[in-house]
Structure formats: C-alpha cells, structure tokens
Amino acid sequence: MSGRLTECFATLKEDNRKALIPYITAGDSNPTITVPLMHRMVEAGADIIELGVPFSDPMADGPTIQLACERALEHHTSLHDVVDMVTEFRQTNTTTPIVLMGYLNPVEAFGYEEFAKAAKECGIDGLLTVDLPPEESTQLVAVLKKYDIDPIFLLSPTTTEDRIGKIVHAGSGYLYYVSLKGVTGSSALNVDEVATNVAKIKTQTTLPVGVGFGIKDAESASAVAAVSDGVIVGSAIVKIIENNPDDTDTILDQIGALLSSMREAMDK
C-alpha cells in the first residue's frame, strides 16, 4: 500500500473522522486551473484527491463528467500532462494522497512500466481504472505494486459476495463503492442500502471503503460518512466548473465553499 493513503486513513481513524475525497477532471475547464484547484480543495478539507484522466469515451460517466473530459481534451490534456500537474502540486504539498481515476486506454498507451515509474516519481499514490475488471488486472497490478502504487477497484450494489472476494484481494489503498446503479451524476441515494452493502464488504476486508455517486451536498455527505470510511464527490464539483468555465475565481470559491460545508457536516 502507498504510504500516504495508509497514513491518511490511519490518522482519520485516530481522530474519528471520515475521508473527504473530491474528484475533478485534470485540465477542466483548462489546464492552468487544475493545480490551484487541487490546493483549494485541500484548504477546504479534502483528505485525498481523485484526479480524472481525460478520455474520449468515458462510458461509466454521466453527462457532467463526459463534458468535463471534452473540455479538457479541447486543450489536449494527456496522461503526460496529468503527471506534470501532480509534479507541480507536489512542490508544495507532499502529504495529500492523489489517486488517478480513469480508463485503461491512456495507461496502456503510456506503457504500464513507464506509467508506474512516472507516477511513483511525481507522487501519485493510487490508480483506479474504471473499465479494468480484477480478473484482467494481474499484469497491471503487479507493476503498480512494484512501485508502491495502490490499484483501486470499484464495487457496486450488484457485486456478488464471491466477486467482492476477488476485488478485495486485487485492490489496496481503499475500495470505491458505487452507491447507485447507473452512471456518475445519478440521483436517488439510498443511505440504508449503502450501509448494508458497505457492512457486507467489510466482512471480507480491512480496507477502507469510500462511497461515491449521488453525493451532492453537505446533508448527503454527512449521511454517507456515518456508514463508510470516506465520501467521494465528483459531479457536484464538476458541475460548478461547467457553470463557470471561464471564471477561475468563482470556480475556486464555490468548490471551496461546497467542500467546506461537507467537511463541517461530516465532522459534526
């Protein structure tokens, strides 16, 4: 496991707090905003940052994050650029864990070994590839673990107990529980169902479980934090960028305010 992720969850547990894990797409709405936004999110209470790698066919994502990928790709933001952004972020922040989230294709194009080496050097802690099932992940997982990068996997409401076993065996760092059937940005979060399914996952692993999809505001963040180890927020943040694509100050202020309100509600 990556030192930063292990340490982060251990510290949170000691303080009886839960992880706030915001997601943004790197390069959205333009590449110059990504690093300042990462710093602002940490100031607002983020514990871990999920940084999306833009991809032309983001099949697990709803319209909000699809559009974020399109905006980032208009600026030709590549996986190499994302590595450079993390390098810049690490010049002043060496403690906040960073997990790259995206699809396998850019990592394949980069090369597993080359990517893992670059990720280790710039300070990336984990990789979540949405379209890589654990059964097909052996080669990539081996390379990631060689460089102390955590492979992070998704579980969903339809994941069977047998399959949970395979996923927890392949993954490290934390597990990402998708709270809804559907794409990112879906609504209708059922916290009781989340609680039941997180408890079921916990019978098979000691890994922390973060919950994403459907968390939009302080109230939903607080409810999910009560039944999990971390709250993952994506579309609600990306929507702010979509609504103010050319206004950096508004983006920074509104995302900071949203995360601060979530942090406060989660810590109550």
Q: What pLDDT is attached to residue 185?
A: 61
The tokens for 117 are 């080496």
Backbone φ and ψ of 222, nearest 5°: -65, -40
Query: Band of the pLDDT at 186, cuts 50, 70, 90?
Result: low
Secondary element (H or E) of residue 151: strand 150-152
Secondary element (H or E) of residue 257: helix 248-267
- Residue pLDDT, tens place only, 62-120: 899 999 999 999 999 999 999 999 999 999 999 999 999 999 999 999 999 999 999 99
Q: What pLDDT is attached to residue 183?
A: 62
- Residue 104 three-state SS: helix
Over residues 230-246, the mean pLDDT reads 96
Over residues 36-57, the mean pLDDT reads 97
Query: Band of the pLDDT at 155, cuts 50, 70, 90?
Result: very high
Catalytic residue set: 50, 61
Backbone φ and ψ of 192, nearest 5°: -65, -40
How many CA within 13 A on the CB side of residue 77? 28
Query: Band of the pLDDT at 187, cuts 50, 70, 90?
Result: low
Over residues 33-52, the mean pLDDT reads 98
